[in-house]
Homo-oligomer: A and B are copies of this chain.
Amino acid sequence: PDPALVEAARERLGGLATPAGALGRLGDLAVWVAATQGAVPPAPIERVRAVVLAGDHGVSDHGVSAYPKAITGAMVRTFVAGRAGVSVLARQHGVTVRVLDLGVEEDLADLDPAVREFKVRAGSAPIHLQDALTVGEARRAMAVGAMIADQEIAAGAQLLVSGDMGIGNTTPAAALIAASLGLPAEAVTGRGTGVDDAGLAHKTAIVQQALDRVGDRADDPVVTLQALGSADLTASATFLARAAHAGVPVVLDGVISVAAALVAERLAPGAAAWFVAGHRSTEPGQAIALEKLGLEPVLDLGMRLGEGSGAVAAVPLIRSAGLLLADMALLADLLP
């Protein structure tokens, strides 16, 4: 965002008929909304589009998740039926939801072909044993992510939401965060959908094994995605980088979305200025990655549903911020 616009937005904020700082975080968000729109006062945020990228993960055959892989496909059907958590929230807030199968193991041939249009592969290889994707698959996933962002922007998105679905996905997300920040697995690995203490220890060991296997190759962000990510995580990273490059702001969700954002920032330094953190998840890696990105979540409700749900739940507050900056009385009006 243009520093002159940030300055102009701050000046308008300071001129509102409120005590200085009385809007708290909504004031900071208002400045971000105006700056990312390139407009002071900002326009109402009407067209918000959420993209949920779904995929399976080879590691989920290795005891890292409390739920079986079959849930991934079942949840894609639930999105299509409009009955997932994010579907309910999106309906409430007039947000479109597009669910795309990037790497679900199940075939899903009975669904609208648009859901599978960008499928890169079925599942991914277990990252502690081998690279998640081939080089070709990673290239394809990167192109797909960027193209999806372009499509959403072409459709008029003023604000994008990055969501995810996939049993086992907190394991590659932890690996991406650890590899990007040079941290050990235990600093970033969490319980995901709810593994017990033994499950957490095992999951942490799997993440560490993956990090050790890849070693210095993770100095390259593209290799990080290919070796430790998956088709959906790789596409998420380029989706985010492309949105930032195009100057369209994005609401990040939980640890999956934030792991992808961390890699997006490595691919396109400065991208994080276009991101806002929708909510604080319960995964430790999310907090660490957000701090690195300089982002403070809007909501802190202990949510860990994924799907983009925490991001969509935050949309009304982001809208509020912009509306307050645009529509509140100015002190100059009040006391002439």
Contact = CB atoms under 8 A, between A and B. Distances in A.
Nearest to A193: B19
A327 B78 contact: no
A163 to B, nearest CB: 14
A161 to B, nearest CB: 14
A316 interface: yes
Nearest to A192: B19
A303 B85 contact: no
Q: How many copies does the complex hold?
A: 2
Interface string A45-80: 000000000000000000000110001001100100
Interface in A197-234: none
A25 interface: yes
Given A78-B17, A78-B334, A93-B316, A22 B193 contact: yes
Interface string A128-148: 000000000000000000000
Q: How large is the interface on A (under 10, 10 to 19, 20 to 34, 35 or more residues)?
A: 35 or more
Contacts of A282: 24
A317 B93 CA distance: 11
Residue of A74, A93, A301 most packed against chain B (CB within 10 A) = A301
B20 A89 contact: no
A323 B83 contact: no
